Amino acid sequence: MRPQVRAFVEIAASAFALRGPVYEFGSYQVAQQDALSDLRGLFPGQPYIGCDARPGPGVDRVEDVTRIALPDGCAQTVVCVDTLEHVFDVPRAVQEMIRLLRPGGALLISAPMDFRIHEYPSDYWRLTPACVARLLGPLDACVVGSQGVEKHPHTVLGIGFRAPLPLGFVRRAELFIAQFQGWLHAAQKQLPRRKRWKNRLALWLRSKGERQRRLSEFDARFAVHLAEAWPPRIAQQHDGDAACRCAPTAGQQRAAVV
């Protein structure tokens, strides 16, 4: 798991006050990554069940995410981060996780896009922001974003919500976006000075596209999709590289905001 993905889950859990029972799919903790990949501490006091296709560290239940042996509405929060690229039938997996959500529940997804092939056990797909938005389309609202160059991101992030939406949903979405962008800015500043200078010098030897990817590594943007036809401009935020746009998602049912 990558640090920004853990930060994504942590900030979303706080901004949207996510509760349990929490089910994580893809919870197997790869050796030497447990400090990042163990997400239980981000949901203190909440029931947390780790699921994966194989037994091992962090796994409480062995489950095939495309055929989950759990009843409808058993989860308040479902987490599936940096996992769907290893699932051959992604739409069915997302449908299964949506099936588990209770009213007011949330589904968190992340996926690498510009990333090396990594076989745990196999690596099949790269998901675009449009793909993640469509996968979350059956839900009543979603926040979808990406990190890196807008046309060539390295990470795609999404949070889908089943109605009723959290009180002050748009404000919470703005808070999430601002806090995640703040985390990215801080992470960029925390790079060792020697590494920063090395990266700058190396840019002169790289192609224009590679230079753009390096310079935009910590940039992010998000769109908030709402099922109801909201006013054209509910919320708009610009913080250097961050942007929030709120718009209805075609084909979704009317969402109840309480």
Average pLDDT for 128-138: 95
CA–CA separation, 20 and 157 (whole Å): 21
Give the model's pLDDT for residue 129. Answer: 95
Banded pLDDT at 113 (limits 50, 70, 90): confident
C-alpha 109 chain-centroid distance = 4
Q: What is the CATH number of the domain that holds 225?
A: 3.40.50.150
Q: What six digits make up the tokens of 158?
A: 């999404």
Residue 9 has pLDDT above 90, yes or no: yes
For residue 206, tell me if it sits in a domain. Answer: no
Using CA atoms, how far apart are residues 253 and 189, in angstroms rounded to an integer?
42
Report if residue 200 sits inside a domain.
no
Mean pLDDT for the chain overall: 83
What's residue 189's pLDDT? 86
**Per 3-state DSSP, what percentage of the chain is helix, strand, and coil (rounded to 5)?**
30, 30, 40
Give domain status of residue 201, yes or no. Answer: no
Domain count, the chain: 1
Q: Would residue 258 count as lying in a domain?
A: no
pLDDT of residue 236: 31
Residue 212 maps to a domain: no
pTM of the full structure:
0.83
Residue 242 pLDDT class (50, 70, 90 cuts)? very low
Q: From the centroid of its chain, how far is CA 205?
A: 33
Question: pLDDT tens digit string along 85-111?
Answer: 888 999 999 999 999 999 999 999 999
- Could you list the residue range(s) of the whole structural domain that residue 89 is in? 3-191+220-248
Position 202 in a domain: no
In a domain, 186, yes or no: yes
Examine the pLDDT at 221 and tell me if it is beyond 80: yes
From 90, 230, 227, 205, select the one nearest 160 (Cα to Cα): 227
203 lies in some domain: no
Above 70 in pLDDT, residue 237? no
